[in-house]
């Protein structure tokens, strides 16, 4: 053991980067979430070599003020919260102020950005956390991030990456989920000069499902619509006929954020139990809209896990909502008993 030393800021950043930035898909996730938070209506992601060598993300959002560009790359610098109480009412996807600092510490980063007012924007280039260039440039309103040579200065991390095809697949899956959770944004993913995902930003979830998964799934959807005092659940579930052998198509979102949650997964899968065989998993695209005070998103660095205060109520709402969708007449013809007027009314009431 050597003597005790304080680590350099860049080393600290590189260590923390491991929590947030594991692979190219994490870079894409963080930067696309930033673009969504910046109110973009169109976001294009271009990758080469599975994103390991090249990621370019272009948005038409608010841009970053010239005199705030450098600050944005400092650890814990954020425009989205001011203090810990703001976490109770957070509406944005980001809030830790760590992504840009982390990415800049483990890759070569270039950003070109312009806000609405000024005539010119700025170009800022960093390598391994060091500033290489800061200059005025002509560019449209919005932001472009260029990330090159991921983990070039942390070979131990680079070693853990999978093949370029596999990494590209992770990015593609990530983009699909983000596009599903934001039908109001037009997304494009380009890999090796080929568009592999395109959504048109119509605002309709069904359009996005069609554009990503195709006709087979889009033609076999059942709407879910649940309203409670503290939350609502909206979206679609697939008919059992389009279920798969793995959970890849079980998508759900909380306030526009893709998450994994045991309670919700169990409620969804329980709902399907009587409709399909074991080891089959449904297609779902459900968005839970809930007051931020009922949940804690500050559990996991990648913000993938969420804790709920009203878990039991959520469980039963998902269960009821999905069961009701599955039990609707599109799926199985209702048997009407002659004297049961209640059932007749129900059937007539259905749209």
| Residues near Mg ion (CB under 5 A) | 34, 94, 99
Question: To the nearest whole angstrom, how small is the minimum distance from the Cβ of residue 326 to ligand ADP?
Answer: 38
In Å, what is the CA distance from 255 to each residue of 130, 232, 259, 292, 321?
36, 10, 10, 8, 18
| Closest CB 8 distance from ligand ADP, rounded Å | 20
Q: How far is the CB of 350 from ligand ADP (least distance, A)?
A: 43
Selection from Mg ion, ligand ADP, none that 78 binds (CB < 5 to 8 A by kind) is: ligand ADP
Nearest to ligand ADP of 141, 207 (CB atom)? 141
- The residues near 4 (Cβ < 8 Å, ≥ 6 apart) are none
Q: Which tokens hold the place of 74? A: 């400092």
In the complex, least distance from residue 138 CB atom to ligand ADP, rounded to whole angstroms: 18
| 84 three-class SS | helix
Among 51, 61, 129, 235, binds ligand ADP (CB under 6 A): 61
Characterize the bridge pairing of strands 284-290 and 250-254.
Answer: parallel
Selected from 17, 28, 72, 259, the binder of ligand ADP by CB under 6 A is 72
Contacts of 334 (CB under 8 A, 6+ apart): 343, 347
By CB under 6 A, tell whether 55 contacts ligand ADP. no
Beta strands in the chain (DSSP E): 42-48, 54-59, 108-114, 121-127, 130-137, 142-148, 186-191, 194-198, 221-227, 231-238, 250-254, 257-258, 284-290, 295-296, 307-308
* Binders in 129-188 for ligand ADP, by CB under 6 A: 143
- Residue facing ligand ADP at closest CB distance: 94
Applying CB under 6 A, which of residues 64, 146, 286, 319 lies at the interface with ligand ADP?
Answer: 64
- Judged by CB under 6 A, does residue 30 bind ligand ADP? yes
Any contact of residue 297 with ligand ADP (CB under 6 A)?
no
Closest distance of CB 72 from ligand ADP, Å: 3
Is the distance from CB of 209 to CB of 251 less than 8 angstroms? no
27-35, 154-162, 212-220, 338-346 -> range binding ligand ADP (CB under 6 A)? 27-35
Query: Shortest Cβ distance from residue 294 to ligand ADP (Å)?
Result: 21
Whole-number Å distance between alpha carbons of 25 and 135: 29
Where helices occur in 21-163 by DSSP H, the ranges are 24-37, 69-72, 99-106, 155-158
> What does the alpha-carbon distance between residue 27 and residue 53 come to, in Å, rounded to a whole number?
12
The reply on whether position 21 binds ligand ADP by CB under 6 A is no
Place of tokens 């005790």: 4
* 185-224: contacts with ligand ADP (CB under 6 A): none
Closest CA to 256 of 175, 202, 181: 181
**What is the rounded distance in angstroms from the CA atom of residue 10 to the CA atom of residue 8?**
5
Alpha-carbon distances of 250 from 192, 244, 265, 285, rounded to whole Å: 28, 10, 8, 7
Q: Does residue number 78 form part of the binding site for ligand ADP (CB under 6 A)?
A: yes
Q: How far is the CB of 280 from ligand ADP (least distance, A)?
A: 38
Q: Of residues 86-115, which lie at the interface with ligand ADP (CB under 6 A)?
A: 94-100
Residue 62 binds which entry of ligand ADP, Mg ion, none, CB below 5-8 Å type-dependent = ligand ADP
Residue with smaller CB distance to Mg ion, 101 or 285 = 101
Comparing CB distances to ligand ADP, the nearer of 72 and 268 is 72
Interface ranges with ligand ADP (CB under 6 A): 30, 34-35, 38, 59, 61-64, 72, 77-80, 94-100, 143
């Amino acid at each position: 053991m050597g003597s005790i030393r304080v680590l350099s800021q860049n080393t600290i950043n590189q260590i923390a980067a491991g929590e947030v930035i594991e692979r190219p898909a994490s870079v894409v996730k963080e930067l696309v979430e930033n673009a969504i938070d910046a109110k973009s209506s169109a976001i294009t992601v271009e990758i080469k070599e599975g994103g390991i060598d090249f990621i370019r993300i272009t948005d038409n959002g608010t841009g970053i003020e010239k005199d705030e560009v450098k600050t944005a790359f400092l650890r814990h610098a954020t425009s989205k919260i001011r203090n810990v109480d703001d976490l109770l009412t957070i509406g944005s996807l980001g809030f830790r102020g760590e992504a840009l600092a982390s990415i800049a510490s483990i890759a070569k980063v270039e950003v070109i950005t312009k806000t609405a007012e000024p005539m010119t924007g700025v170009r800022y280039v960093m390598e391994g956390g060091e500033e290489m260039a800061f200059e005025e440039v002509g560019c449209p309103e919005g932001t472009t991030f260029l990330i090159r040579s991921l983990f070039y200065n942390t070979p131990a991390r680079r070693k853990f990456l999978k093949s370029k095809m596999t990494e590209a697949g992770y990015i593609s899956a990530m983009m699909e989920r983000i596009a599903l959770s934001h039908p109001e944004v037009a997304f494009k993913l380009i890999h090796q000069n080929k568009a592999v995902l395109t959504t048109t930003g119509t605002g309709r979830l069904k359009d996005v499902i069609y554009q990503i998964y195709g006709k087979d799934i889009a033609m076999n959807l059942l709407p879910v619509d649940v309203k409670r005092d503290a939350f609502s659940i909206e979206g679609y579930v697939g008919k059992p006929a389009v279920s798969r052998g793995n959970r890849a198509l079980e998508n759900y979102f909380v306030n526009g954020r893709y998450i994994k949650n045991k309670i919700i997964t169990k409620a969804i899968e329980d709902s399907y139990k009587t409709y399909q065989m074991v080891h089959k998993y449904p297609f779902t695209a459900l968005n839970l809209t809930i007051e931020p005070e009922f949940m804690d998103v500050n559990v996991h660095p990648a913000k993938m896990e969420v804790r709920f205060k009203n878990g039991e109520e959520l469980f039963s709402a998902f269960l009821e909502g999905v069961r009701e969708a599955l039990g609707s007449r599109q799926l199985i013809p209702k048997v009407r008993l002659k004297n049961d007027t209640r059932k007749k009314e129900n059937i007539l009431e259905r749209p």
